[in-house]
Structure 1
Amino acid sequence: MPADPLQPASTPSFSFARYRQAGRSRSVLWGVLLAVALAAGAGGWWWQKHQAAAPAASGAPRFGPGGAAQPVSVGQVQRADVRVLVSAIGTLNARATAVVRAKVAGELKSLRFKEGDEVQAGQLLAEIDARSYQATLAQAQGTLARDQALLHNARLDLQRYQALQAQDSIASQQVDTQAALVRQYEGVVAADKAQVDAARLQLDYTRVTAPIGGRLGLRQADLGNVVNPGDANGIVTITQVRPIDTVFSVPEAHLARIRERLGQGAVLPVELWDSAQKNMLARGRVSALDNAIDTSTGTIKVKAAFANEDGRLYPNQFVNVKLQVDRLEGVLTVPASALQNNAVYLVRDDGTVALRRVRVGVVDGDRVSVQGELQEGDHVVVDGMDRLRDGTKVTVIDAGAAAAKLEQGAQEASQRRAELLKNLTPEQREKLSKMGQEERRAYIRSLREARAAQGPASAASAAASH
């Protein structure tokens, strides 16, 4: 019989079974999820514990108040005299410069100097053909001798006329005329003497001498050239470089102190440094101040003098200038490398560091004057401060000893390399020369390993097969 659609007898039993089956599935799913969550939590706890213990087990330092000690190098806080320096840029100027020119025209017959030599004032440098000037001198001397003879004869006649006049045997007019003739000849002789002196001076000018002492430049005229007093380049140039001067500008703010120190008779030292400011060239002193301030720059020019006894300073040489305008006595100083953002790290007795803010003052070389909570004899960090914090534990190392150890290791490695290369055969050397840098390193490493394992003789034979 067909089932009655209005009869729901079997439907309730079927739905209840499915419901119980679904409930069991949800219970299993929630159990699995709970187990996974517990496992994840346990794994995370184990990982954090393992990561925290790993640095301590491996010896790796941890930074911070509770971590391992950070290695640092330290410097000492000292009381010292600090120079107040003003830096400037200057150019060296010769104390005097002279262009040696011929004073008379003529052919250049000889040169008596070597370019670049040091000469003294009055030293003979060149000679000009003097024959025409010698002839002129001889002519002037002849004219002088003739006129002197005429003067002598006129004086004798005047003496005779005066004797006759005393006897009233000659007219007074004739005596006066003879006296005027004597005075005329005296004037002629004086002019002749001047001509002789001028001719002799022209002859002396054919010997060209140094007007000042100094260093010679390059020759501007050659033998056989006809030189003239109007030549622009002359024969050679002399520059006086012992002593030598430099002129530089300093801000007008320092003018009052400079004038005060100079007025007290103090010596203001000046140092010259090369363009890289690594090598000091000379020490000198301020010699003069300009008489006006440059309104366009707000600076005043200062001149300083340097003995330059070794002659290493040259005119027009670019230099860096350091002028000492004052000196601070007995101030606290720290190494310049200890400063970081106007603060230093003070190493305390318990092996930790403390950040100390300081007021930075004058810099003098590798030391800086400071004001702050520091005492003479304190130690401050100069190297290794990049990871420091206030309270970080530190270990003080000797930077000099570490650098010496590294240098010694590098020298030993270089010696081992040289010894290894010395034992190579010509074929191996040629092979090595054709390799690239990385290939060469690998080849040398293989030689070293073979030598260590088999000895020098076996290493060479083993390397030959590479």
Structure 2
Amino acid sequence: MTRLVPFCRALFLTSILATLSACNKGGGGAPAPSVAASAPAGAASTPPVGVTTVTAAQRDLAIELTATGTVAPLSSVDMRPQLTSVVSRVHIREGQFVKAGELLFTLDSRTDEAKVAQAQAQVARDQAALADAQRQLTRSRELLAQNFISQGAVDANQAQVDAQTALVASDRAALAAARVALGYARVTAPSAGRVGTISVYPGSAVQANTTTLVTITQLDPIAVAFSLPQRHLADALAALPGGGARVSATLPEGAGKLEGRLKFVDNLVDPASGTVKVKAVFDNGAGKLWPGAFVNIAMTARTLKDAVIVPQAAIIQSARGSIVYTVQGGKAEAKPVQLVHAEGEDAAVTGVRAGDKIVLDGRQNLRPGAAVTERPREGAAAASGAASAPSKKASAP
């Protein structure tokens, strides 16, 4: 048994050598290709990546800010009486538009009319006393010239005239105050606007500076209040001296669109939200904007002149920052870009030039230096097919 094992080993080695000799003879003596030698051939046969491209354009790009604004009147006045009285007559109706100075209410003024008459009578009495004092002074001066009275008597008459003059002035001031109080019986509109709900009627008792008679709201022009991010504060302030930035207000449910101007920037940035309150003023002759309503606001903060525009979808966020792939000489080239502003589907960037071919579809399969082949975009092909369909139908027999 011990002699059989070395014999088997020798027989196994002899068979392996014979097999290798036969393989060399069948292959004509050529060495077998190695795996390392076949790798470059596989790499050279990698097909190019199909991509779609767009051309980077150069144009002005308006920076549009959108927000939700609240319509607010430029003025809204609660009309309250300045005296305690009773309403005698209401001269307006609810919802009416009034002009500045138009009569709204008349209050019971009989008491104030009596006070005015009393003040007028007091003025007349004191004027008569002043006239008598002036005559006495004139007579005393004549007697002094004839040495019939002393200088002291003349001085006394002069003091009486001065006191009576001051009393007449006081009476006239009291008469003017009485007339002011009488004027409070006529309640007039301080500014033009629309009348709201009337809360009193003829015969209603009203308290001075307490009872609200009606509210008058100015509707034309009208303001819209909204908030701007802090980063656009400098743009808003710079636009104010030139008439304000252009602002558009879109009404809900397709009710229309109005154009206005930015007119006010608040003096405080809200630290909680990082925004500043602003107001834009709109012409509202048609009455489309109503106080308290919500509208969609779009404001042109500023315009980027001659910006290079690429599709926002073409920008790739990599570990080293934002890049785009361009096609040059049939190969993909990665270029770092800096995003300046994004507006809808467009983005203003730096790092590429106008006219560069920017890879849009297929960018996820690219590596720098990869071979590419351009193919038409699906939307363009569909549009081309839709355009040619009618002509084919027309040529059919």
TM-score, normalised by the number of residues in structure 1 = 0.56
1:268 to 228, 231, 245: 245
SS in 2 for 1:202: helix
Q: Within 2, Cα distance between the matches of 1:282 and 1:215?
A: 21
1:325 to 281, 294, 301: 301
Q: Residue 242 in 1 paired to residue 220 in 2? A: yes
Corresponding residue for residue 270 of structure 2: 294
Q: Residue 223 in 1 paired to residue 179 in 2? A: no
Q: Residue 307 in 1 paired to residue 286 in 2? A: no
Deviations 1:120-150 (A, max 9, x none): 2111111111222211111111111111111
SS in 1 for 2:292: coil
SS in 2 for 1:291: strand
Q: Within 1, Cα distance between the matches of 2:240 and 2:72?
A: 22
What is the Cα deviation at residue 325 of structure 1? 0.8
Corresponding residue for residue 35 of structure 1: none
**Percent identity of the aligned residues?**
32
What is the Cα deviation at residue 364 of structure 1? 5.9
Using a 3 Å threshold, how does the CA distance of structure 1 residues 279 and 375 change in structure 2: closer, same or farther?
farther
2:236 to 237, 258, 271: 258
Corresponding residue for residue 47 of structure 2: none
What is the Cα deviation at residue 152 of structure 1? 0.6
Please show how residues 125-204 of structure 1 align to structure 2 within 5 Å.
125-204=104-183
What is the Cα deviation at residue 219 of structure 1? 0.6
Q: Which structure has the higher relative contact order (CA within 8 Å, separation 6+)?
A: 2
What is the Cα deviation at residue 311 of structure 1? 2.3
Using a 3 Å threshold, how does the CA distance of structure 1 residues 266 and 314 change in structure 2: closer, same or farther?
closer
CA contact (8 A) 2:222 2:281 kept: yes
Larger Rg: 1
| Coordinate RMSD, CA, aligned | 3.9
CA contact (8 A) 1:93 1:315 kept: yes
Using a 3 Å threshold, how does the CA distance of structure 1 residues 298 and 364 change in structure 2: closer, same or farther?
closer
TM-score, normalised by the number of residues in structure 2 = 0.64
Using a 3 Å threshold, how does the CA distance of structure 1 residues 392 and 123 change in structure 2: closer, same or farther?
closer
CA contact (8 A) 2:65 2:300 kept: yes
> Structure 1: 5+ residue runs without aligned partners?
1-75, 344-358, 382-389, 402-466
CA contact (8 A) 2:56 2:353 kept: no
What is the Cα deviation at residue 247 of structure 1? 2.4
What is the Cα deviation at residue 312 of structure 1? 1.9
Higher strand share: 2
CA contact (8 A) 1:271 1:280 kept: no
Corresponding residue for residue 45 of structure 1: none
Higher helix share: 1
Task: Report how many residues are paired.
Answer: 303
Q: Within 1, Cα distance between the matches of 2:170 and 2:87?
A: 31
Q: Within 2, Cα distance between the matches of 1:230 and 1:291?
A: 32
Q: Within 2, Cα distance between the matches of 1:187 and 1:161?
A: 21
Please show how residues 28-427 of structure 1 align to structure 2 within 5 Å.
81-232=60-211, 234-262=212-240, 265=242, 267-275=244-252, 278-329=254-305, 368=346, 396-397=382-383
Using a 3 Å threshold, how does the CA distance of structure 1 residues 370 and 165 change in structure 2: closer, same or farther?
closer
Q: Within 2, Cα distance between the matches of 1:149 and 1:238?
A: 48
> Structure 2: 5+ residue runs without aligned partners?
1-54, 317-336, 362-373, 388-397
Opposite residue 221 of structure 1, the aligned amino acid is V
Q: Within 2, Cα distance between the matches of 1:400 and 1:131?
A: 86
